[in-house]
Amino acid sequence: MRTAYSVETVRAAERELMARLPEGALMQRAAAGLAVACGELLGRVYGTRVVLLVGSGDNGGDALYAGARLARRGAGVAVVLLSPERAHQGGLAALRAAGGRVSGDALRDIACADLVVDGIVGIGGRGGLRPEAAQLARAARESALVLAVDLPSGVDADSGEVRGEAVRADATVTFGAYKPGLLVDPARERAGALRLVDIGLTLPEEADVEALQHADVADLLPRPTAESDKYRRGVVGVVAGSARYPGAAVLAVAGALRGGAGAVRYVGPAADKVLAHFPETLVHPGPPDKAGRVQSWVIGPGIGDESDALAEVLAADVPVLVDADGLRFLTPRQVRERTAETLLTPHAGEAAALLGRGRDEVEAARMESVRELAAQYAATVLLKGSTTLVAGADGPVRVNPTGTSWLATAGSGDVLSGVTGSLLAAGLTARDAGSVGAYLHGLAARRAAGPGGAPILASEVADHLGAAWRNVTD
């Protein structure tokens, strides 16, 4: 599991460790790791030209001490001091002693640089870059590799929000723990390749944000045993599709059949189309409460205005996943009154409608939006997007690391609903089903798109779910 911790938690862990170490030891650990990463990004150190952008805090101190290490190994290091009177004095002295110099012409030095190190602000930053720093960051981006110290300056470490201008880095070296913003868009996209330098912090067991890795997903995937039959493996009921959108039913069932449940029961008007594609489906014309027992329901993809079915499904005492059209008729009260778990899977536009705000606002504040929805509905919420997030009323927010922008294609959400609902039927909690479903779905899409990337169909994502599953468990 990759974990991320809030600034408050990291600061507390740093204080606790600093009290036990000689002064400056932590910064030396950070600077040593940073210098190694600079060397690796450059390919060699001797003879290269490095520019440090240094602000007024310890983030600049890290950059200065790392710069001193690079200068000792033969790099030409120049520092641009954004607040000369407040720059880290020890770091500046170390850089000078190692042969580094203070830049007299920042733009000219940047234009000749191989690497620009962003030590403008770290976890002490507030808001976007100030105008002078923004101009230097743009110039750096045009002419050199950019490596961010701890996080790209200008992004919000806790939320991943980018409210003004921010550094766009090729790589980010972060200290002690990943910060939530490094894993969540729009900040994630500014961070480039991530590297964590261990500085010895002791962190709490429960992280603020976590991202599953292959091994975590493999542990969570349901596996049939010798005693399993199709009913014990779980039956997922799918209420999807309409005369106008029969394809949504086919795609949701395609996902559900590959999500690990023992059987899929389709309820709705597109049974002929579903059976033509998947003869293994059990079908029923409805209503849902007459269709037979299920261990979970998926409702919403392409159902149009069918709100009676929604009320019926929500009344059932099994986990329910509500997606797409289903979300249009949902009230917080209906969900809060349920005893079994509810998983809502909106994209940003649907989340915006539920929250009564603009889509742009949801995109800009994804973490806050998903948490707010989870609290409002007392449910688990999976917010789809460039970094899909899964949040419950409490506990860490899960970030899906396997997404790809090729997934932004019609019908891919229907497949996700199916596979995730199937995992619910197999007995996973809403948080696990949502994050495992998103993980497999992203992996399947990547496989469908191929190594170089190419447009994919939602049905191809469904076709690759089996390969994604094997990829995780092999």
Distance CA 194, CA 170 (A): 9
CA–chain centroid gap for 261, Å, is 26
* Sign of the dihedral through C-alpha 323, 455, 187, 183: positive
| Shorter beta-carbon distance to K ion: residue 74 or 131 | 131
In 3D, which of 365, 336, 333 has the Cα closest to residue 348? Answer: 365
Among 41, 42, 58, 140, binds ligand NAX (CB under 6 A): 58
8 A C-beta contact, residue 164 and residue 138: no
Please say whether the beta carbons of 99 and 35 come within 8 A.
no
Among 50, 52, 62, 298, binds ligand NAX (CB under 6 A): 62
Q: Which is nearer to ligand NAX, 86 or 230 (CB)?
A: 86
Residue 471 annotated as binding? Answer: no
> Starting at the edge strand that comes first in sequence, how are the strands of the sheet with 282-284 ordered?
2-4, 209-211, 397-399, 389-391, 380-383, 342-344, 320-322, 296-299, 235-239, 263-267, 282-284
Total binding residues for ligand NAX by CB under 6 A?
A: 24
Q: Does 344 contact ligand NAX by CB under 6 A?
A: no
Cβ nearer to ligand NAX, comparing 190 with 338: 190
Least distance (Å) between residue 106 CB and ligand NAX: 15
Q: Minimum CB separation from ligand NAX for residue 53, in Å? A: 11
| Tokens describing residue 342 | 């509810």
Binding part of the chain for ligand NAX, among 123-131, 188-196, 325-333, 381-389 by CB under 6 A, reads: 123-131
CB closer to K ion out of 66 and 248:
66
Q: Which residues bind K ion (CB under 5 A)?
A: 118, 148-149, 153
On the question of a cis peptide bond just before residue 455, with omega within 30 degrees of 0, the verdict is no
Find out whether 383 and 389 touch, Cβ atoms under 8 Å. yes
User: Cα–Cα distance between 393 and 406 in angstroms, integer?
Assistant: 30
Residue number of the CB atom closest to K ion: 153
**Is position 14 an interface residue for ligand NAX (rule: CB under 6 A)?**
yes
Map the footprint of ligand NAX across residues 141-170, applying CB under 6 A.
149-150
> 379 with 395: CB under 8 angstroms?
no
Quote the CA–CA distance of 362 and 115 in Å, as a whole number. Answer: 35
Q: Is 57 in the site for ligand NAX (CB under 6 A)?
A: yes
- Distance in angstroms (rounded) separating the CA atoms of residues 361 and 366: 8
**Interface with ligand NAX by CB under 6 A: which range of 24-32, 38-46, 346-354, 427-435?**
24-32
List the one residue from 90, 127, 200, 292 that touches ligand NAX (CB under 6 A): 127
Write the DSSP symbol of residue 86: G
Q: Counting contacts by CB under 6 A, is residue 67 touching ligand NAX? A: no
CB of 16 to ligand NAX, least distance (A): 10
DSSP character at residue 269: T
26 binds, among K ion, ligand NAX, none (CB under 5 to 8 A by kind): ligand NAX
Q: Is 302 annotated as a binding-site member?
A: yes
Rounded to an integer, what distance in angstroms lies between the CA atom of residue 449 and that of residue 45?
Answer: 37
Asked if residue 287 has a cis previous peptide bond (ω within 30° of 0), the answer is: yes
Q: Is 128 annotated as a binding residue?
A: yes
* The two structure tokens encoding residue 419: 């596979």
Q: Compute the least distance from the CB of residue 8 to ligand NAX, in Å.
A: 12
Nearest to 189, CA basis, from 223, 155, 222, 220: 155
Q: How far is the CB of 85 from K ion (least distance, A)?
A: 20
Nearest to 6 by CA among 200, 159, 154: 159
Residue type at position 245? Y
For ligand NAX, the closer of residues 5 and 266 by Cβ is 5
Query: Would you say 356 is a known binding-site residue?
Result: no
- Residue 127 assigned to a binding site: yes
Q: Which of 12, 24, 124, 138 binds ligand NAX (CB under 6 A)?
A: 124
Nearer to K ion, 38 or 148 (CB): 148
Is the separation of the CB atoms in 34 and 149 below 8 Å?
A: yes
Measured in degrees and rounded to the nearest 5, phi and psi for residue 259 equal -100, 5
Q: Which of 121, 136, 187, 444 binds ligand NAX (CB under 6 A)?
A: 121
The residues facing 406 across adjacent strands are none
Nearest distance, CB of residue 305 and K ion, angstroms: 50
Closer residue to ligand NAX (CB): 21 or 193 = 21
Q: How far is the CB of 22 from ligand NAX (least distance, A)?
A: 12
Question: By the 8 A CB rule, do 147 and 37 touch?
Answer: yes
Strands 2-4 and 209-211: antiparallel
The binding track of 188-227 with respect to ligand NAX, each residue x by CB under 6 A or -, is -----------x----------------------------
The correct pick among 4, 6, 9, 26 for binding ligand NAX (CB under 6 A) is 26
Residues that constitute the known binding site for K(+) = 59, 118, 153
Residues that constitute the known binding site for (6S)-NADPHX = 58-62, 122-128, 150, 248, 302, 347, 414
- Site residues (vs ligand NAX, CB under 6 A): 14, 18, 26-27, 30, 55-60, 62, 121-127, 130, 149-150, 175, 199
